[in-house]
């Protein structure tokens, strides 16, 4: 684990591009909004006495969660009309917090909730979710979407693939162990933060019962495609064996059983800290670019729209896999060529491509 405990070397696209490129992530959060509202409706009334605190962990530029938070604030107002509402946005220190500020304060392309009522206090933190983000016993509802699959560090390099979904044997075990330890750590910190009776609504990438996961729901497997192109670059001598292996995403997609384990094992410190699993289900949110391609049928347009959404979250990992002593321009060109290859592949043969989202929607409560 890195000293600071945040996922080293990963950043989302900056300059507000993240939310523009990832409309699918907004659909995921919109689908979770009723869970957030229900969580607020279920809080003990006394919890509103001294203020309401909501956190959005791994928020990126905050654009995808603005409308959900607006609805959460309405739900709080219905329970306690004048209570001050703090919204704590957190992400890693290298996140583009300027873009976040622009979006929250209405300077970006999205509508914000800030004018919805008085006494709304957005607060911004660069603390990783592998640490405690807010003071103990102050959090009412903790939220996170599409972020906690990023491990605190890379368990190992994967020798034959770019993501744990393609790992085998000891390498897979290593990722599984790391993910288990990380998930427990995330939960233990949240257990400290929550007020008794408080709730977590965590929407995380998952492997569902059919072994579906992000970009693998029956069509072309997106992660296998990443690997296939990277492997071709290795075969062509464009990346070295070390660079190939370095491109290992520090991620893991838990199953429902893996998410549930520390919340159901009565001997686990997470269970003993008072956290209880109230609800977990898996859902697929369709790739908006593939859906729109099904209507317009223009393969080149699909490829142009689809590749940036992938690029927004994995470009930094591909780039950082390349040896630092290679000229910057050469590294940039390699990455450019990588995504252009992917784009041409989709454009030439678009059928089955797409990044359907597969998430576990989880509600966790802290006992009174």
CB 150 → ligand SAM: shortest distance, Å? 4
Nearer residue to ligand SAM within complex by CB, 125 or 231: 125
Residue in 254, 291, 74 with CA at minimum distance from that of residue 164: 254
**Are 54 and 39 within 8 A, CB to CB?**
no
Which of 20, 29, 43, 360 binds ligand SAM (CB under 6 A)? It is 29
CB 147 → ligand SAM: shortest distance, Å? 3
Which distant-in-sequence residues (6+ apart) come within 8 Å of 35 by Cβ?
201, 279, 361, 363
Site string for ligand SAM, 299-318 (x = CB under 6 A): --------------x-----
Residue 30 buriedness (CB in 10 A; 0-12 / 13-18 / 19+): middle
**Are 310 and 342 within 8 A, CB to CB?**
yes
The H-or-E segment that residue 347 falls in is helix 328-348
- 3 state SS of 188: helix
Nearer residue to ligand SAM within complex by CB, 182 or 271: 182
Site string for ligand SAM, 96-135 (x = CB under 6 A): --------------------------------xxx-----
CB 266 → ligand SAM: shortest distance, Å? 28
Q: With CB under 6 A as the contact rule, which of the stretches 53-61, 213-221, 276-284, 345-353 interacts with ligand SAM?
A: 53-61
Which residue has tokens 């873009």?
99
Nearer residue to ligand SAM within complex by CB, 6 or 199: 6
Positions 128 through 167 that interact with ligand SAM (CB under 6 A) = 128-130, 145-147, 150
Q: Does 64 bind ligand SAM (CB under 6 A)?
A: yes
Q: With CB under 6 A as the contact rule, which of the stretches 58-66, 207-215, 218-226, 284-292 interacts with ligand SAM?
A: 58-66
**Are 108 and 99 within 8 A, CB to CB?**
yes
Return the beta strands (E) in the chain as ranges.
52-57, 85-90, 120-125, 139-145, 194-205, 275-285, 357-366
CB-CB neighbours of 111 under 10 Å: 12
Which of 16, 58, 215, 288 binds ligand SAM (CB under 6 A)? It is 58
* Cα–Cα distances in angstroms (integers) from residue 312 to residues 23, 125, 245, in the given order: 12, 22, 21
Q: Does 91 bind ligand SAM (CB under 6 A)?
A: yes
Beta bridge partners of 123: 88
Which of 95, 102, 112, 334 binds ligand SAM (CB under 6 A)? It is 95
Which residue has tokens 């142009």?
304
Q: Does 59 bind ligand SAM (CB under 6 A)?
A: yes
CB 222 → ligand SAM: shortest distance, Å? 14
Q: With CB under 6 A as the contact rule, which of the stretches 5-13, 70-78, 155-163, 299-307 interacts with ligand SAM?
A: 5-13
| CA–centroid distance for 21 within its chain | 14
Positions 309 through 368 that interact with ligand SAM (CB under 6 A) = 313
Q: Does 7 bind ligand SAM (CB under 6 A)?
A: yes
Residue in 208, 218, 207 with CA at minimum distance from that of residue 166: 207
Nearer residue to ligand SAM within complex by CB, 25 or 239: 25
Q: Does 47 bind ligand SAM (CB under 6 A)?
A: no
Structure tokens at 74: 């309405």
Output the CA angle 343-204-63, nearest 5 degrees.
65
Binding site for ligand SAM (CB under 6 A): 6-7, 12, 22, 25, 29, 57-60, 64, 91-92, 95, 128-130, 145-147, 150, 313
């Amino acid at each position: 684990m890195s000293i600071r405990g945040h996922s080293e070397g990963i950043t989302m696209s900056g300059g507000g591009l993240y939310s523009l490129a990832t409309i699918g992530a907004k659909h995921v959060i919109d689908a979770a909004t009723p869970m957030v509202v229900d969580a607020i409706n279920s809080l003990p009334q006394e919890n509103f006495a001294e203020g309401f605190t909501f956190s959005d962990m791994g928020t990126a530029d905050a654009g995808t969660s603005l409308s959900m938070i607006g609805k959460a604030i309405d739900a709080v107002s219905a329970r306690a009309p004048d209570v001050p509402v703090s919204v704590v946005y957190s992400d890693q220190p290298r996140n583009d917090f300027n873009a976040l500020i622009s979006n929250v304060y209405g300077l970006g392309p999205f509508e914000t909730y800030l004018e919805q009522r008085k006494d709304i206090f957005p607060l911004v933190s660069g603390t990783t979710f592998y640490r405690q983000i807010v003071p103990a016993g102050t959090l009412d509802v903790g939220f996170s979407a599409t972020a906690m699959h990023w491990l605190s560090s890379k368990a190992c390099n994967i020798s034959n693939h770019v993501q744990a979904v393609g790992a085998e044997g000891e390498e897979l075990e290593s990722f599984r162990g790391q993910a288990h330890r990380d998930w427990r750590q995330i939960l233990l910190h949240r257990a400290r933060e929550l007020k008794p009776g408080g709730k977590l609504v965590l929407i995380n990438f998952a492997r569902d019962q059919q072994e579906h996961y992000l970009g693998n729901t029956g069509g072309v497997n997106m992660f296998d495609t990443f690997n296939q192109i990277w492997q071709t670059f290795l075969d062509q001598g464009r990346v070295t064996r070390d660079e190939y292996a370095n491109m290992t995403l520090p991620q893991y997609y838990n199953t429902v059983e893996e998410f549930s384990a520390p919340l159901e094992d009565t001997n686990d410190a997470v269970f003993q800290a008072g956290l209880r699993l109230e609800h977990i289900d898996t859902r697929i949110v369709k790739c908006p670019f593939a859906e729109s391609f099904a209507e317009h049928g223009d393969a080149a347009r699909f490829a142009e729209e689809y590749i940036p959404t992938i690029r927004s979250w994995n470009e930094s990992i591909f780039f950082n896999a390349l040896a630092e002593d290679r000229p910057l321009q050469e590294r940039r060109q390699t990455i450019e060529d990588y995504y252009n290859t992917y784009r041409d592949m989709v454009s030439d043969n678009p059928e089955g491509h797409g990044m359907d989202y597969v998430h576990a929607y989880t509600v966790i409560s802290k006992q009174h």
